[in-house]
Amino acid sequence: MSLTKVSSLPHVAQLLRHKKPVRITLFGSSSTEGVGASSLAASYAGVFEQKMSAAVPDKLEVINRGIGGQGAMQMHARLAQVLADKADLVIWQGGVNDPLTGINLTDFEQITRDDLLALRENGADVALIDLQWCRLLDECPVAPAFQASVHALGKELEMPVFPRFELMKLWSKAYGLGREDLSPDGIHMGDTGYRLLGEAVAQWVLDLAAE
């Protein structure tokens, strides 16, 4: 699959072009924290950092701001911490717990929009990751609306969105993996899913920065 490049990451692109240090904050919930991985190295964040390090040797800092179970309101409460990171790129991963906990879609959109704008106004490039393909979200009637909302926010704010949901289904077909092979407990990804995710997100970031 060829990922659609909705917009570039101009700040990161300039830093890479001039071989300057790059600081990236991963901001999200359990996928970012790495719940379900056998180790930090096997998590999405660990794999992402390893692959990015090949492109930014000795000049890369990846800050993991993932806390499992959090939705838009809890992430908003931590926004000041993320702003203080002064990251060159913030990769936002959210919208998963909100449909499962019953937050109003309009509230989710407003909180998320305000936070994403604050991150950009703080000087960071901002990219988004959409929801995962898993049993609990498949069984949640309102999950598709939140999935669509993440993409709508990305389009509205001109921030690229990594299509995790679609790619997980493609990985399933390409590698002969079932849904539960990628998310063994029904929501959290396992080592195989995290490896594919970390590698793909890192390559996506590098491709966007190369535009």
Question: pLDDT tens digit string along 29-56?
Answer: 999 999 999 999 999 999 999 999 988 8
Which residues span the domain enclosing 37? 10-209
The number of domains in the chain is 1
* pLDDT over 50 at 82, yes or no: yes
Does a structural domain hold residue 42? yes
Q: Any bridge partners for residue 62, and if so which?
A: 24
* pLDDT over 70 at 7, yes or no: no
Would you place residue 1 in the very low, low, confident or very high pLDDT band (cuts 50, 70, 90)?
Answer: very low
Does a structural domain hold residue 2? no
Does a structural domain hold residue 172? yes
Does a structural domain hold residue 39? yes
User: What order of strands is seen across the sheet that includes strand 125-129?
Assistant: 60-66, 22-28, 89-93, 125-129, 161-162
Does a structural domain hold residue 4? no
Does a structural domain hold residue 3? no
The two beta strands, 60-66 and 22-28, are parallel
* pLDDT over 80 at 199, yes or no: yes
36: CATH: 3.40.50.1110
Does a structural domain hold residue 73? yes
Q: What is the value of pTM for the model shown? A: 0.95
Does a structural domain hold residue 5? no
Please report the pLDDT score of residue 4 as a whole number. 46
Strands (E) across 15-56 are located at: 22-28
Give CA–CA dist 91/16, Å, rounded.
Answer: 17
